[in-house]
Structure 1
Amino acid sequence: MRVAEDFAAEQADIERHLAKLEELASGTFWSELGCEVVFAHAEKAAIRLRAEQRHLNLIGIVHGGVLMSMLDNAMGLVVMIACREKTVTAGLNTHFLESAKSGNLVCEAEIMHRIGRTITLQATVKDEEDRLIAWGSGTYRIVSR
Structure 2
Amino acid sequence: MEVKTFSLKENQDRDIYGYLDVKECQNSDFQFKFSLNFLKKNEELYFNNEGMSTQFYVLSGELKDVLEVEKQCLEQEGTERSFLYRPGQSYFAQNESKYKALTDGMVLSATMAHNVRGNMRRLNINDSVKMRIGEAVGACVIAFFGADAEFSLKWDDGSVLCTPDSAVFLTVDKAEYHTIYLVSKKNNVHLEYAGFAVLGQNDFGKNIGIELIKGQNDKYYGKLKIRPEHLNPLGVVHGGCIFTLADAVCGFTIGSQGGISTTVNSYIQYFNPAFSPKFLLAEAKPRKLGKSIRHLDVEIRDDQDLLVACAEFVFCNLQK
TM superposition score normalised by structure 2:
0.39
Are 1:11 and 2:90 matched, yes or no? Answer: yes
Q: Distance in 2 between matches of 1:124 and 1:142?
A: 23
Are 1:141 and 2:220 matched, yes or no? Answer: no
- Alpha-carbon deviations, 1:25-45, whole Å to 9, x = none? 875202211011232589530
Corresponding letter in the other structure for 1:127: D
Residue in 1 that maps onto 2:263: 89
C-alpha change, 1:21 and 1:138, in structure 2 (3 Å) is: farther
Given that 1:42 and 1:81 are in contact with CA atoms closer than 8 Å, whether structure 2 keeps it comes out as no
- Alpha-carbon deviations, 1:58-112, whole Å to 9, x = none? 2221000010001111111100001x21110011110011011221110000211
Deviation at 1:21, TM superposition (A): 6.5
For residue 22 of structure 1, give the secondary structure of its aligned residue in structure 2: coil
The alignment covers a number of residue pairs equal to: 139
Q: Percent identity?
A: 19
Q: Where do 1:49-64 residues align within 5 Å?
A: 49-64=224-239
Q: Distance in 1 between matches of 2:216 and 2:272?
A: 28
User: Of the candidates 118, 127, 131, which is equivalent to residue 306 of structure 2?
Assistant: 131
Deviation at 1:127, TM superposition (A): 0.5
Residue in 1 that maps onto 2:295: 120
Tell me which protein shows more strand as a share of its residues.
2
For residue 116 of structure 1, give the secondary structure of its aligned residue in structure 2: coil
Given that 2:219 and 2:283 are in contact with CA atoms closer than 8 Å, whether structure 1 keeps it comes out as yes
Given that 1:40 and 1:78 are in contact with CA atoms closer than 8 Å, whether structure 2 keeps it comes out as no
Corresponding letter in the other structure for 1:50: K
More relative contact order, 1 or 2 (CA 8 Å, 6+ apart): 1
User: Of the candidates 64, 75, 79, which is equivalent to residue 254 of structure 2?
Assistant: 79
Q: Distance in 1 between matches of 2:89 and 2:303?
A: 31
Unpaired runs of 5+ residues, structure 1, are: none
C-alpha change, 1:32 and 1:64, in structure 2 (3 Å) is: same
- Give the CA RMSD over aligned residues: 2.6
Structure with the greater alpha carbon radius of gyration: 2
Corresponding letter in the other structure for 1:8: P
Unpaired runs of 5+ residues, structure 2, are: 1-58, 62-85, 94-108, 118-200
Given that 2:205 and 2:245 are in contact with CA atoms closer than 8 Å, whether structure 1 keeps it comes out as no
- Alpha-carbon deviations, 1:103-126, whole Å to 9, x = none? 111000021112330000001110
C-alpha change, 1:114 and 1:89, in structure 2 (3 Å) is: same
Q: Distance in 1 between matches of 2:216 and 2:114?
A: 15
